[in-house]
């Protein structure tokens, strides 16, 4: 066993390490103070607790979505299906109206969800924590929908979208 290093791993190496680990792809969406939809692609959605049900995700402090998210009371997360890589690209793009092409609906509370997503959850924001250049946002999950239970999830690994499939046997 080696002794732990005092210095942090450099950014490029860190990104390579975490980039090799597959992650599910989601769209995090909310409404801003004027009721306009705001959203972004996230591969950082994680389960934190089942009792009570809590999810968390991270967003860059430089994200155009952060100002609205910093004050939002609720958020919807759409878990994308493997054929929705175009949706993931659109919500990851900078300087575009991510909602202009349609393909989304609003929940009764106003939160946008992606049409065709495998599943969605709605959550009440519990906490926002600044960690480095990003913010971790924790949600108490209050509602969900499973419109496409048979759809396979979209994953992201090594800089590209990938399929997830069950291993035979």
Q: Which domains does the chain have, with CATH numbers?
A: 24-155 (2.30.110.10)
Going by pLDDT thresholds of 50, 70 and 90, the confidence category of residue 2 is low
Residue-wise pLDDT for 87-143, tens only, equals 999 999 999 999 998 999 999 999 999 999 999 999 999 999 999 999 999 999 999
Task: Look up the pTM and report it.
Answer: 0.92
**Cα dist from 55 to 20, 26, 112, whole Å:** 23, 12, 18
Query: Rounded to 5 degrees, what are φ and ψ at 63?
Result: -65, 140
Q: Is 110 in contact with 31 (CB distance < 8 Å)?
A: yes
37/50 Cα distance (integer angstroms): 28
Quote the pLDDT of residue 15. Answer: 87
């Amino acid at each position: 066993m080696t002794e732990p290093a005092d210095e942090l791993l450099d950014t490029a190496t860190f990104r390579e390490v975490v980039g090799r680990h597959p992650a599910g792809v989601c769209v995090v969406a909310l409404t801003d103070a004027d009721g306009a939809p705001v959203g972004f692609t996230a591969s950082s959605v994680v389960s934190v607790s089942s009792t009570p049900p809590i999810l968390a995700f991270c967003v860059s402090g430089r994200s155009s979505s952060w100002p609205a998210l910093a004050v939002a009371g609720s958020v919807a997360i759409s878990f994308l299906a493997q054929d929705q890589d175009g949706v993931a690209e659109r919500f990851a793009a900078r300087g575009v109206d991510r909602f202009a092409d349609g393909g989304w609906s609003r929940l009764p509370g106003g939160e946008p969800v992606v049409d065709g997503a495998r599943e969605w959850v709605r959550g009440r924001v519990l906490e926002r924590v600044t960690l480095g250049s990003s913010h971790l946002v924790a949600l108490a999950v209050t509602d969900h929908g499973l419109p496409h239970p048979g759809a396979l999830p979209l994953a992201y690994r090594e800089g590209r979208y990938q399929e997830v499939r069950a291993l035979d046997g």
